[in-house]
Each structure stands twice: as C-alpha cells, then as structure tokens.
Structure 1
C-alpha cells in the first residue's frame, strides 16, 4: 500500500481482557509480522497500561515508537495504535467509535463474557471502523447499524436505542403481516 502522508493510518485495534489476554485484535501493519510478535506486543503493552487509570477518559502514551490511545470499559481494555507521527485526536476518535459501538451493540453490557458471546458483532464492528489501516467510519450508531446490517434495508436504530436481530426479524414480519392485512381489507 502506497503511503499518503495526509491519510491517517491505524496500525492496530486491540481488545484485551483485564488480564491482558487477547479477545479480538486486528493488525493493519507489517510491524508485527507473526502471531508471537503480536502477542509479545500485546503483553508488554498491557504490562505498561494495566495499572493506569483510563476508566473515565482515554489515555494517550508513546510506547515502542507508537502512539497508543486506550481506555478501559468494564473488564476490557480497548487500544488503538498509530505511528509516532499520527494525529492523537484522530486515533482518539477511532477509540471512541470502537468502544461506543461495542457498547451499543452489546446494550451497555460490555464485559468479557458478553463480548465473547457476540464476538461476530465485535469483529464486524472492527471491520466497519478500519479496513487495511484506513479509517472508514467513526460514528458509533452507524457502525452498530452496519454491523447488524440494519442499514441495508433502510432500517436504523430506534429513538430509544438499537434494535436486536431477533426484534428486527419480528418487527419485519409484523410489518409485512400488517401490510397484507391492510391490502386485504381495502379490496
């Protein structure tokens, strides 16, 4: 990939548990060419950040010549890394999109067990945020909508929050039944 100096690039998105174990990770750089090198990076990053208090606001650090923006939510640690030349505010907006979309998708029940049960949605959300290191979307509602494929039929989140997949199917069936009943009554 040719590098454009004006294009912000994300090196990795990491979701680790409170013990530093991998939950969901995406690497977009050849800086970590193998799983052992990725694992070593994750362990040393976790060791550096696990005692810091990033619960209310995100923290930004320089680590191994990378800018790392991270935040804790529940028993999970969210990380976004970029090169040392990258804009911290852009990386912060990616981090915000990352954990807010996960929070929306999991209905504010962001904990390791729930994430593991919904790992497919988490990975889809990560794919909606960044592709090949290029930032695609930072609006958490849009990311959650795309991850659950609500945007395809023009459906979106309700005013009170998001609609789950089961409710979506039921509401679609109910709408079709109502439309069929209306047509049969008007004949």
Structure 2
C-alpha cells in the first residue's frame, strides 16, 4: 500500500464527497479517483478494500468536525449558564452544517453499517467515544446539566441537522436558530 499521507487524506476526503453525493453504493475506487482528480487505480493502491475506505472515511469525518483548540478555549471562558450552552449548541450546529457533505457521508456510513458488522463496530466505538467526550467536557466545565442533558441535546440537535441538510426548506435559518434555543431551554436546567 502507498504511504503518501497527503494523497491518502485527499482520497479519503474524495470518498466523503462521493458518499454524500452518490451514497454507499456509489463509493467505488474509480469514483474516488475521479472525485480526487487522480489517475484511475490510485485509490486501490492506498486502500486494501472498499471496507477499509469506508472505515477511514468515517474516521476522517470526525477529524474534520472536531471544533479545535480555539473553540474549546472559548467555551471554557464562557460563564457556566444555560445561555452559554445555547451559544455552544448554535456553534456546533453551524460547524456541522457547514460541512454538510461530511454529515451526509456519515449518514450513509450509518446506513451501510447495518449491513457491515465491522463498520458498525468502528462507528459505534467512534460515536460512543465522541458522546462520552462531550459528556466529560460538559461535566468538567461545570455547565448546567448532567450526562443525560448532553445525550438529549445530542439526539435532538442531530435530527435538526438532518432536516437542515436533507430538507433545507423545512426550517429556515431563523426557525432553526429558534429551535436550537428552544431545545436548550427545554433540556438544560436553569442555573
């Protein structure tokens, strides 16, 4: 297998775009090569199988959705209030919807994982770890609420994101912002 890390990352990013545009059935090495603008056969030199490419695409989506140190630092500087949680949830939904192809690719991977136990295992571990990181951050930062608060926000806002990406006319920006605030006000206890 080839070892050029930049080329590998470009191929994985191309796989994310193919998943978002064509679904899991459309994810072929040829489609990835075409999306990446590389010679046909390149992806097959970097990944031993389509399953390996699926798994690495799932991992890459999480890397690209990571808020980064600056956002985490800003969050830690906020007061420990429901309003701060609201601000953080707006930032998160905005960040995720800005990388809509990544989120749609993750939806495709989730659907594909119902047929591929290895992929399901990897995604379950990744998502479980991500949820736990969010719980740990929330609790250690002293924001209002408990682990269930974080899980309920995760569940509610994930479906709002699905609606925004798949049926964008259903809730315009103003309505989506109001729904995020309503979810936070209903789920997060007052100080």
Q: TM-score scaled to structure 2, two decimals?
A: 0.29
Which has the higher Rg, Structure 1 or Structure 2? 1
Q: Which structure has more RCO (C-alpha within 8 Å, separation ≥ 6)?
A: 2
Name the structure with the higher strand share.
1
Name the structure with the higher helix share.
2
